Amino acid sequence: MPLAVENPFVRLHPDDNLLIARVGVEAGVEVVPGNGEPAVVTQEGAVTTHPSRVVTRDRIDLGHKMAARMIPAGAPVRKFGQLIGYATEDIQPGEWIHSHNLSVGELQLDYAFSTEVPLDPEPIIGRTFLGFRRADGRAATRNYLGIVSTVNCSATTSKAVAERINRHLLAAFPNVDGVVPLVHKGGCAMQYGGSDHQQLARVLAGFARHPNFAGYLIIGLGCETGQASFLTENYGLTQLDVPGDNGRDTRPLIMTIQDSGGVRKTIDRAVGVLEEMLPEANNVRRVPIPVSELILGTECGGSDGNSGVTANPAVGIASDLLVAHGGTTILGETTEIYGGEHLLTRRAVTPEVGQKLVDLIHWWENYTKFFGVQIDNNPSVGNKKGGLTTIYEKSLGAIAKGGSTALKEVYRYAEPVTAKGFVVMDTPGFDPASVTGFVAGGANVVVFTTGRGSCFGCKPVPSIKIATNTPMYERMIDDMDVNAGRILDGVPVEEVGREIFEKIVSVASGEKTKSEAQGIGDEEFCPWNVGPVL
Q: Where are the domains of the chain?
A: 1-105, 144-282, 296-517
51 pLDDT tier (thresholds 50, 70, 90): very low
Alpha-carbon distance of 504 to 523, in angstroms, equals 23
Q: What are phi and psi of 48, to 5 degrees?
A: -100, 120
User: What average pLDDT does the segment 83-90 reach?
Assistant: 94
Alpha-carbon distance of 177 to 212, in angstroms, equals 10
Asked whether the beta carbons of 96 and 60 are under 8 A apart, the reply is: yes
What was the pLDDT predicted at 267? 98
Do 144-282 and 1-105 have the same topology in CATH?
A: no
pTM (2 d.p.): 0.91
Q: Look at 138 and 33; give whichever has higher pLDDT.
A: 138
pLDDT of residue 230 exceeding 60, the answer is yes
Can you name the CATH fold of 144-282? Ribose 5-phosphate Isomerase B; Chain: A, (3.40.1400)
User: What average pLDDT does the segment 326-330 reach?
Assistant: 98
Asked whether the beta carbons of 371 and 382 are under 8 A apart, the reply is: no
What was the pLDDT predicted at 6? 56
What was the pLDDT predicted at 381? 81
Phi-psi region of 518 (alpha: psi -120 to 50; beta: other; left: phi over 0): alpha
Q: What are phi and psi of 72, to 5 degrees?
A: -70, 155
Share of the chain above pLDDT 70, in %: 91
244 pLDDT tier (thresholds 50, 70, 90): very low
The count of other CB atoms within 10 Å of the CB of residue 355 is 16
What was the pLDDT predicted at 241? 46
Q: What is the DSSP letter of 27?
A: T
377 pLDDT tier (thresholds 50, 70, 90): low
User: What average pLDDT does the segment 59-73 reach?
Assistant: 93
Alpha-carbon distance of 440 to 246, in angstroms, equals 36
Average the pLDDT over each of 246-250, 258-262, 319-323 and give the range with the smallest value. 246-250
pLDDT of residue 38 exceeding 90, the answer is no
Asked whether the beta carbons of 274 and 179 are under 8 A apart, the reply is: yes
Nearest to 435 by CA among 534, 300, 266: 300
What was the pLDDT predicted at 33? 62
The CA-atom distances, in angstroms, between 237 and each of 114, 206, 229 are 38, 10, 9
Class of domain 1-105: mainly beta
What was the pLDDT predicted at 270? 96
Q: Look at 250 and 531; give whichever has higher pLDDT.
A: 531
Asked whether the beta carbons of 363 and 413 are under 8 A apart, the reply is: no
pLDDT of residue 64 exceeding 50, the answer is yes
pLDDT of residue 39 exceeding 80, the answer is no
pLDDT of residue 46 exceeding 70, the answer is no
| Peptide bond connecting 460 to the previous residue in cis, omega within 30 degrees of 0 | yes
pLDDT of residue 238 exceeding 80, the answer is no
User: What average pLDDT does the segment 184-188 reach?
Assistant: 96
Q: What is the DSSP letter of 259?
A: H
227 pLDDT tier (thresholds 50, 70, 90): very high
pLDDT of residue 318 exceeding 50, the answer is yes
pLDDT averaged over every residue in the chain: 91
Nearest to 487 by CA among 321, 315, 303, 337: 315
Q: Look at 371 and 482; give whichever has higher pLDDT.
A: 482
